[in-house]
Structure 1
Amino acid sequence: MGASDIMLKNQQPPTINIDGNWKRMEKYQKLTDSDIHQAMYSCHPNKKEEDVKAQLMATGALNYRTSVEDHAFRISVGLQSGNPYIVARPIPRTIPSLDELNMLPPRPSTSGRLVNPVDTLRDLALRKKGIVIVTGQTGSGKSTTLAAMINHINVTRQTHIITIEDPIEFIHRDRQSFFNQREVGPHDDVPSFEHGVEQAMRQAPGVILIGEIRNRATMQAALQAAETGHMVFCTLHTRDVPSTLQRVFSMFPGPDRDQIAVQFASTVVAVISQQLVPKAHPHTGGRGRQLVAEILVANDAVRVNLRKNDKNLETMLRDAGNRESDAGNLQMDRELARAVHLGLISEDAARLFAVQDNFEKTLTEVKGGTL
């Protein structure tokens, strides 16, 4: 049915999320506490029930990857009043190409040439050093976009790619490149993201993928890896590019901030922020959601502002998107308005996902052909 998530909860039938909407599968019986425990134990990599239960009670959560028949899932178990519930996210069997991400079509720049978001991702994927951050809220498709970029590297050039994930989602097969995919956890391949990055730097990687930047230590390790000549891809849970930059700086309060601003400015290649917006005509245009992305590709002007820890990051992004030399940049609200203009999403949906207060002005300008 194309569900993005499946929830198993006591005294409820299985519930699925399709295009952002949860639906109870009433044709199935309500699940019992015993059903939830059985599902949790049967698909956990550690088959010892007492060990799984002890880990859940100690941390209040379990995260792992599993396979049921020929379907792969990312499993997240939580506790509610001491009882477990499960949210399972199906992992596509095949890794999509960049062309299959369903990005917006090319747009004309002020010079008249077409700017293709997919070509921008293609270019970013083939950079040899620096850091690319893909951001968005949970369920915005960050992992899929990263998988497609890493897959593009895999099919186009030879390099050693190390991924550090919790849990491992997409399984990459060696093609042109060589993979070592490491899972984070106390009893897994590596105890933490930062340890994984530090170890990876000793193993001659060309590319390091960090599943998620969760704290200062991991961010420091990622920046160090990028600074020493590696290409680093990672994710953050932020809504747009300005909030991503603010989040990075906020990890380093006090006297460390200026040093990190210089280090980040010298290593950042791009920040990509994305949202999945319900389509305007799901029945005629295909069920699903439209990927809308904001992209800031760092250039000299951007790096200067970052070194200064410039507070007016939204202005910086808007100006970068308007300059000819930065034709690959995209601004979220402008892209939302363009998606409305193309008939892909509704005005109401665009307003709901807009990140700035002056979205109505942006929508009017796009309608009038001035953007």
Structure 2
Amino acid sequence: MSIETVRVDLGTRSYDVRIGQGLLDRAGAEIVALAGKRRVAIVTDTTVAAAHLPRLIASLNTAGLQAEALALPAGEATKSWDRLGQAVEWLIAQRIERKDLVIALGGGVIGDLAGFASAILRRGVRFVQIPTTLLAQVDSSVGGKTGINSPQGKNLIGAFHQPSLVLADIDVLGTLAPRDFRAGYGEVAKYGLLGDEGFFEWLETAGPVLATDPEALQRAVRHSVAMKAGIVQRDETEQGERALLNLGHTFGHALESATGYSDRLLHGEGVAIGCTLAFELSARLGLCSQEAPSRVAAHFAAMGMPARIADIPGDLPGDEALIALMGQDKKVMDGKLRFILARGIGQSFVTDDVDPAALRAVLAASRRG
């Protein structure tokens, strides 16, 4: 398979997303033209560093680039003020300037944190995303959203800062644990659910073989990235259409917060449950057929993913507490919760006109499984 390119067209801040096999080993050749002083700083985590950092550094060295690396602890807890400060101070100590380059090597946590560090260091330095998880390749590495979590909610602190290049090597996804791969799939399915029923229909057949079929996997990543690029080009700073990319996230982020951003619930798993809840709420409000949420839940279950609140291990706060956590969502406007709902698969829209009783009923039913 050849390497494919999706262009994110944002005028002077446009960039390419390169998708295919072997990109990690040719990263130096892909990046060298961007490196002003022929030196780069890599931010990664300890797990990714053990699996992929030596190959990246070798590739950079072959292209004549000097590289230093900071490996932070793996996990969602790294998206914090403390780790952000550590990364920024390290970059300053490395004398990274505006014309230098930061590389984010890792999943969504590292991409978000390193991107935010790049946004605020010297009021903005360039960075390259090398996403190593399916979730990061199809979602968080594209579009320029960067940030960290607050104890009061997910991604409440951050900035829009577009990368200069994204290298999505699908080969590295083979090192993911099965659960991590499936969690990333939650974001892949989201694209079909929000705006492309044909893609979702294809996933109903192809989804179970993505982990073992590189051609199907590359198609899924490319199509997801192309959908996101189109939306970002039309609404970069989420004034309207881009909010659709948060299908399932109002519920999912609240559930992540309720589980302490722990491995009880991975982000993509929260998105899968959130998408199912969004369709169940849509059906309860008479917006879509009763069959649509059943189809969504059945597909996630067939992929071995959670689809209901009852699928989350351990105790959870009550429904009122979950609704309060939803109130910290970034999409809240004038104190009103905004939801991405659907008139059918591939037909999502944003609304704040949701009957509280219907919301409570959907949460209670999902708890019962």
Q: TM-score scaled to structure 2, two decimals? A: 0.34
- Hey, which of these two has a bigger chunk of strand by percent? 1
Larger fraction in helix: 2
